[in-house]
């Protein structure tokens, strides 16, 4: 009802009441009642229409995130995610005419300017809606896709009693949303009766022009309800354009069913989802029974420019490749590290080795024990590889690790089996073989560590300590007893095949210990010049080996005999004379023996400090039951070489 219509109604009542005869004393009372009625009508008339070019200081009913900003903007959501906000005109409007609430529904028209400011340029929260509702209490409504209008249980129920015009920026399949940029007319729920892409029809051409709800620019919307036709028309346009003639949406709604009482609240509802966004209403006008007062769009405060994140897709376009590249390279580095680590400690292990498990060392342990096989831990370099000192990680046992390079895997099984067998040998004059490890092209043998190194250094090094006769004899006896053990006392006959001074190691008590055994097999494959194709070392080889090529106890004993001479004489088995010609030490000794000057052959460095009896082995020869006598006997039996 317009103001003039209200006044006409007052005049009508005035006329009607004047027609009846009225007692004079009642006149002041009637006048008072009339004044009251008039006042009410004027108030109603004022409520029938309003215009907010700014919301500053205006009395609106706000709830949730809704607030009026310092600029006078009505902010429905404040950027916090998953919240809702409502703003209603404080008093309900008489949506039905006549004094009784059952009167005909009246036309109304509203215009408003809205703006959505999302964190991302192409992604936002659900949106906002203009609402005409029986109640302004939306406390049970949900945020996110329900836009603060309904919840999962009551969505679409007739008891909701609302008409909403949604500006929806999210596609919700459950509500049959068409796009993330659409407008819709909704009754009692989030499923639109009609919906269309945000935009407008150009007045001249009738062409449809798209508009973006998310471009952070304010735009205007008109909602017109024509009571005569029961049609709701929704029209949108950019701020600079007048209201287009053709509405974007049009639907017939039974407003009297929606608003069953006489009054209804008008306002806005909005909510945020998981993306931070702000929904604003910049200006709003409303009028019953006529077109909404035009808004002065030129004087509106600007939409706040929040600290906006760049376009999400742009962000992804930039960040994603970098992130994935970083991820891939991180993965590659990790893989490389694992591979390197794996490679660093990689071993060669075959099924048949399972049985030898206890004798197998992990390469990693040996690697750490020897500090990565560093030169500081190098004990010496033999004919077939380097020997390193190490301390085993757990047991703290001192070991010598011999690294033998080998390419052939041929005979490896037999060899390892032999290594393991030899590992079972226990004798105080043997260097204990603790176990082995295998890698690609490499075999590692782990021995007990002998702190005083190999005997040949003491015998042949110029600046080393001179071993006394007593020490020498003890070493010889020790080695002899170990050979006896190998040959006779163990369940199998073990041939050392490479008895020599450099393979006799000295423990802390300067006991001689035979070591480096068991490599003979491997030596078969060796091509080292130090060895002949026959197993063993030049100078120690028994003469028959040259013919048969077969090692025997006797060939071991022959080598031991040479070793004994080497220790007693302090000279290498093959000596060079003044002309540089090689001679066997054995021949020299035999020559002296025949001349009866055997004691001349004893090491000069002893300066005569030795037991002649022992050197000549006179007593031992008589006693043919001792192990040494066998050796002596053998030596005397040896036919001349050369
Ligand atoms: N168990 C051990 N404890 C301490 N030092 C050792 C041990 N085994 C070997 N060595 C040291 O490592 C050096 C090299 O030993 P290796 O047995 O490889 O060489 P070799 O006996 O001189 O020659 P070949 O390989 O021809 O037998 C030895 O001279 C010795 O000083
Ligand atoms: C938004 O409003 C809610 C509820 O009033 C409040 O808890 C929150 O802190 C507000 N967020 C911001 C960014 O102002
Ligand atoms: C032999 O080793 C022990 C223990 O390491 C040491 O005490 C001794 O001096 C060494 N003997 C010689 C002759 O080097």
Q: What CATH superfamily classification does 454-642 receive?
A: Transferase(Phosphotransferase) domain 1 (1.10.510.10)
Query: Which tokens in the block code for residue 465?
Result: 């300590």
633 sits in which H/E element: helix 627-637
Q: Is 196 in the active site?
A: no
What's the pLDDT tens digit per position in 587-621?
A: 889 999 899 888 889 998 888 898 888 888 765 54
What's the pLDDT tens digit per position in 14-47?
A: 444 444 444 444 555 555 555 555 544 444 445 6
Tell me what pLDDT residue 198 has.
96
Among protein residues, the one with the nearest Cα to ligand 1's atom 5 is 453
Tell me what pLDDT residue 493 has.
80
Q: Where are the alpha helices (DSSP H) in 67-212?
A: none
Contact 45, 67 (CB under 8 A): no
Write phi, then psi, for 95 (nearest 5 degrees). Answer: -85, -10
Tell me what pLDDT residue 7 has.
47
**What is the spatial distance between Cα 283 and Cα 52, in angstroms, rounded to a whole number?**
5
CA of 122 to the centre of ligand 3 (A): 82
CA of 387 to the centre of ligand 1 (A): 6
Which of 48, 177, 498, 603 is flagged as catalytic? 498
Residue from 62, 63, 65 whose mutation best tests the ligand 2 pocket (most atoms within 8 A of CB): 65
CA 621 from chain centre, in angstroms, equals 78
Q: Where are the alpha helices (DSSP H) in 485-624?
A: 520-523, 543-548, 553-569, 585-595, 612-616, 618-622
Cβ–ligand 2 distance for 65 under 6 Å, the answer yes
Q: Enter the pTM of the model.
A: 0.50
Contact 523, 490 (CB under 8 A): no
Tell me what pLDDT residue 414 has.
73
**What is the spatial distance between Cα 8 and Cα 140, in angstroms, rounded to a whole number?**
43
Write phi, then psi, for 266 (nearest 5 degrees). Answer: -120, 145
Strands (E), 79-161: 84-88, 93-94, 108-118, 127-133
Among protein residues, the one with the nearest Cα to ligand 3's atom 8 is 508
Residue 214's contacts (CB-CB under 8 Å, 6 or more residues apart) are 116, 118, 121, 122, 123, 124, 169, 180, 181
CA 599 from chain centre, in angstroms, equals 78
**What is the spatial distance between Cα 129 and Cα 232, in angstroms, rounded to a whole number?**
14
Residue from 507, 510, 512 whose mutation best tests the ligand 3 pocket (most atoms within 8 A of CB): 510
Among protein residues, the one with the nearest Cα to ligand 2's atom 5 is 65
Could you tell me the fold of the domain covering 50-299?
A: Jelly Rolls (2.60.120)
Among protein residues, the one with the nearest Cα to ligand 3's atom 14 is 452
Return the axis-axis angle of helices 553-569 and 627-637, rounded to nearest 10°: 90
Count of alpha carbons within 13 angstroms of residue 304, beta-carbon side? 22
> Could you tell me the strand order of the sheet in which 398-405 lies?
378-381, 385-391, 398-405, 442-448, 433-439
Ligand found nearest the CA of 509: 3
DSSP annotation of 71 reads T
Tell me what pLDDT residue 244 has.
96
What are the extents of the domains in the chain? 3-45, 50-299, 312-344, 345-449, 454-642
Range 394-399, long-range pairs (CB < 8 A, 24+ positions) = 397/434, 398/448, 398/449, 398/451, 399/369, 399/434, 399/446, 399/447, 399/448, 399/449
Tell me what pLDDT residue 442 has.
83
Contact 219, 237 (CB under 8 A): yes
Query: Which tokens in the block code for residue 184?
Result: 């819709």
Multiple choice CATH, 345-449, 3.90.470.20, 3.40.50.620, 3.40.640.10, 3.30.200.20: 3.30.200.20
Tell me what pLDDT residue 519 has.
56
Low-confidence ranges of the chain (pLDDT < 70): 1-47, 98-102, 306-314, 355-358, 407-411, 517-535, 618-642
């Amino acid at each position: 009802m317009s103001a003039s219509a209200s006044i006409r109604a007052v005049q009508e009542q005035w006329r009607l009441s004047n027609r009846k005869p009225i007692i004079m004393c009642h006149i002041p009372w009637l006048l008072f009642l009339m004044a009251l009625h008039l006042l009410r009508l004027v108030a109603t008339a004022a409520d029938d229409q309003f215009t907010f070019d700014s919301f500053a200081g205006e009395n609106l009913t706000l709830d949730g995130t809704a607030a009026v900003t310092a600029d006078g903007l009505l902010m429905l959501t404040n950027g916090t995610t998953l919240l809702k906000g409502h703003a209603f005109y404080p008093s309900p409007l008489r949506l039905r005419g006549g004094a009784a609430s059952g009167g005909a529904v009246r036309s109304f028209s509203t215009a408003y300017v809205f703006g959505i400011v999302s964190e991302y340029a192409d992604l936002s929260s659900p949106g906002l809606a203009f609402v005409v509702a029986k109640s302004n209490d939306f406390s049970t409504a949900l945020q996110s896709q329900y836009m603060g209008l309904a919840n999962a249980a009551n969505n679409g129920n007739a008891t909701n009693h609302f008409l909403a015009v949604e500006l929806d920026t999210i596609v919700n399949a459950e509500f049959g949303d068409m796009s993330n940029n659409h407008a819709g007319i909704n009754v009692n729920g989030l499923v639109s009766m009609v919906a269309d892409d945000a935009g407008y029809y150009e007045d001249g051409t009738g062409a449809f022009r798209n508009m973006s709800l998310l471009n952070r620019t304010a735009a205007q919307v008109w909602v017109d309800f024509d009571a005569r036709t029961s049609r709701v028309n929704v029209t949108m346009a950019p701020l600079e354009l007048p209201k287009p003639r053709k509405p974007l949406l049009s639907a017939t709604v039974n407003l009297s069913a929606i608003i069953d009482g006489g009054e209804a609240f008008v306002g806005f509802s909005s909510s945020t989802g998981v993306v931070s966004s702000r929904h604003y209403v910049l200006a709003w006008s409303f009028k019953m029974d006529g077109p909404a007062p035009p808004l002065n769009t030129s004087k509106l405060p600007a939409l706040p420019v929040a600290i906006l994140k760049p376009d999400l897709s742009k962000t992804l376009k930039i960040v994603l490749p970098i992130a994935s590249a970083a991820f891939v390279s991180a993965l590659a580095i990790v893989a490389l590290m694992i591979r390197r680590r794996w490679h660093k400690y990689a071993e060669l292990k075959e099924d048949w080795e399972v049985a030898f498990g206890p004798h197998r060392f992990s390469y990693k342990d040996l690697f750490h024990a020897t500090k990565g096989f560093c030169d500081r831990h190098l004990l010496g370099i033999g004919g077939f590889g380097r020997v390193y000192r190490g301390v085993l990680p757990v047991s703290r046992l001192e070991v010598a690790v011999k690294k033998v390079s080998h390419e052939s895997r041929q005979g490896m099984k037999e060899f390892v089996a032999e290594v393991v067998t030899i590992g079972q040998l226990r004798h105080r004059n043997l260097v204990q073989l603790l176990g082995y490890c295998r890698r690609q092209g490499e075999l590692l043998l782990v021995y007990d560590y002998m702190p005083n190194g190999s005997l040949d250094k003491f015998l042949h090094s110029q600046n080393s300590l001179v071993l006394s006769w007593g020490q020498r004899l003890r070493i010889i006896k020790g080695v002899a007893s170990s050979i006896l053990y190998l040959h006779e006392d163990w369940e199998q006959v073990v041939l050392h095949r490479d008895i020599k001074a450099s393979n006799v190691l000295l423990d802390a008590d300067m006991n001689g210990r035979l070591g480096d055994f068991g490599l003979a097999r491997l030596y078969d494959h060796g091509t080292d010049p130090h060895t002949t194709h026959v197993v063993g070392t030049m100078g120690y080889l028994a003469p028959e080996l040259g013919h048969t090529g077969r090692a025997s106890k006797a060939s071991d004993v022959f080598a031991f005999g040479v070793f004994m001479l080497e220790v007693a004489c302090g000279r290498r088995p093959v000596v060079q004379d003044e002309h540089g010609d090689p001679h066997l030490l054995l021949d020299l000794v035999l020559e002296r023996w025949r001349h009866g000057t055997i004691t001349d052959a004893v090491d000069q460095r002893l300066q005569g400090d030795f037991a002649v009896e022992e050197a000549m082995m006179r007593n031992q020869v008589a006693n043919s039951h001792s192990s040494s006598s066998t050796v002596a006997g053998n030596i005397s039996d040896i036919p001349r070489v050369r």
